[in-house]
Structure 1
């Protein structure tokens, strides 16, 4: 299946598709008022966009299906399989990040961060969507994770504003029309999985993969920012995630993934697919970034 442009019935190019999905996801996340939106036009647009999204998500799923099918369905064995993705999953150990830590200049780092900010889907909102009607044990851990993202009730500790501080310091302009489609696809993938309850367990796997694999990369980005003289406030988002995500991953694996597979072994397959889909999307980004930056 390929995403189709409804106006021409022609397959959409990846860049055009991801730009449309990015606009769609912003629209369905931002608060609005009834007098600002034509309800019928919105429903018609949503039908088209959700069809495009569904076709694309199935393509992404098909790309990892064989590897995901090899994941065990015993809870302990599955958890071991999942945790090894930190070393053996798509994109892990990519040479981009040691280069960012030790060699990237200010222009290259700014370009990289612009891509990353453009693809940011808002982890807090994604967790909130994923936890809907989940079993009690998993729901409680997702709530704890969300509360950490919210700075445990203190604005100064909220993760979103930490990233915004870096955006302001470097004057980043993450205009989706001027960034790589691969970066947009990361955010669109996570949003699509979290919004569609058919992919609820995929979202668990995808978000769990982020927590599992992010610390090493964020630590290297933070080292690069420090080397380039970025302020402590500008680096804080990456400092926090280099440490906190290690604890988040341990709790996510213990309290969410293992119990979900133990309660129903059929959950192993979609969790595995979601994790691999997210890691594959990240690997696709890293490859494109290295191509642009000459790494």
Structure 2
């Protein structure tokens, strides 16, 4: 097995190596060549801003991140624990993080006072263009067809089905209020130990209803926009790097604050095209539990953390801004994508349920 010269095929090469039966037989020179290719890809993507390189960089990261969430008994071979893949992931994430620090330097140099942080977060999230003020949400509520709503749902699948795993990755090594609030979030994610109520399973139920394969987020990465892959990679880069734990606390604060409104407008859109509330159980669940999580996340995690360690403010703010702007890129791209769409990327709905 040898590395391919086409940089746009690096993700396929990395994936082949991760699941290869003969990784040990790959010569040192080939490993070094792959590292060099990924290093060049990272610089072209995150320093040079090359669009093709950005797409491939996020595909490589996504492949590695999905392997980190794969059970070894589900595949014939799983080599993701080999140091090579940690090195590739580290190369890409370090370059990406350096670019982010440079981008947000002006924000991080003018931080809000700790006493007014709660108000600053509320206003920042409410006013951010990725929130329900974005035209895509009015479009979904008032105008989108069944197929357009289905495509929006499809494109948001990767992060939504992995959210419980991301919370779980944060649990080790934190205690007190942070541990308790994370545990409450995770307890809701796993449906209070009732399998049908596990959020991932509830989403899978709606995917079944909409005729979307449950494994599409791993088996058809090509269907998903780069921006959605970047959103997953953002969370995973923070959740798997202990030094970025403070950032993900900020990112999740923004997430929990924003989610209920976004889901409510989607529910109204689905009802408009004739869907009943039973298939919408996943969406309806998130309009209630996430309101509670947003308040508790602020009061039980963020405020006490800042009281103990005011120096955590820059990393919290960086996480908030990364989450808002990365999600903003998703809805910007999705709005352009779904407006003129007649059928979803996977093809038209062919399920047995009656749809308008």
Same fold, TM-score > 0.5, yes or no: yes
Count, aligned residues = 290
Q: Which residue of 1 aligns with 2:338?
A: 293
Structure 1: which 5+ runs fail to align?
Answer: none
How far does residue 166 in structure 1 lie from its aligned partner after superposition?
1.4
Q: What does residue 86 of structure 1 align with? A: 125
CA contact (8 A) 1:68 1:272 kept: yes
Whole-angstrom CA distance in 1 between matches of 2:227 and 2:189: 25
Deviating more after overlay: 26-35 vs 195-204: 26-35
Q: 1:214 aligns with which of 259, 277, 285?
A: 259
Q: Name which of 170, 175, 181 aligns with 2:210.
A: 170
Pick closer, same or farther for the CA change 1:56–1:268 going to 2, 3 Å.
Answer: same
TM-score by length of 2: 0.76
2:240 match: 195
Tell me, in whole angstroms, the C-alpha distance in 2 between the residues paired with 1:258 and 1:111.
38
- Structure having the higher helix fraction is 1
> C-alpha displacement at 1:35, in angstroms?
8.1
Alpha-carbon distance in structure 1 between the residues aligned to 2:300 and 2:311: 17
Partner of 1:284: 329
CA drift of 1:179 comes to: 1.7
Q: Tell me how far apart the structure 1 counterparts of residues 178 and 92 of structure 2 sit (CA, whole Å).
A: 30
| Residue 290 (structure 1) shift | 1.5
CA contact (8 A) 2:189 2:199 kept: yes
Structure 1 residues 130-184: Cα deviation after superposition (integer angstroms, max 9, x where no partner) = 2332241121111111111111222222111111111111122442112210111
CA contact (8 A) 2:67 2:80 kept: no
What secondary structure, in the 3-state scheme, does the structure 1 residue paired with 2:85 have?
helix
Query: Are positions 1:58 and 2:94 aligned together?
Result: no
How big is the shift at 1:57?
2.9
Deviation at 1:128, TM superposition (A): 2.0
Task: Point out where structure 2 has 5 or more consecutive residues left out of the alignment.
Answer: 1-33, 46-52, 341-356
TM-score (norm 1): 0.90
Q: Please say if 1:143 is aligned against 2:173.
A: no
2:62 equivalent to 1:6: no
**Which string of whole-angstrom CA distances, capped at 9 and with x for unpartnered residues, describes residues 49-69 of structure 1?**
221122123323432332243
Contact 1:141 1:252 in 2 (8 A): yes
Whether 1:245 and 2:271 are equivalent positions in the alignment is no
2:272 alignment partner, one of 223, 227, 237: 227
Q: CA RMSD in A?
A: 2.3
Q: Which has the higher contact order (CA 8 A, sep 6+)?
A: 1
SS state at 1:36 partner: coil
Say whether the 8 Å CA contact 2:125–2:324 is kept in structure 1.
no
8 Å CA contact 1:100, 1:224 repeated in 2: yes
Retained in 2: the 8 A contact 1:73–1:266? no
Kept in 2: contact 1:57–1:192 (CA 8 A): no
Distance 2:327 2:159 in 1: 10
Q: Rg: which structure is higher?
A: 2
SS in 1 for 2:280: helix
Alpha-carbon distance in structure 2 between the residues aligned to 1:226 and 1:69: 45
Confirm or deny that 1:262 pairs with 2:307: yes
Distance in 2 between residues matched to 1:108 and 1:206, nearest whole Å: 28
The answer as to whether partners of 2:206 and 2:280 remain within 8 angstroms in 1 is yes
With 128-137 and 216-225 compared, the bigger mean Cα shift is at 128-137
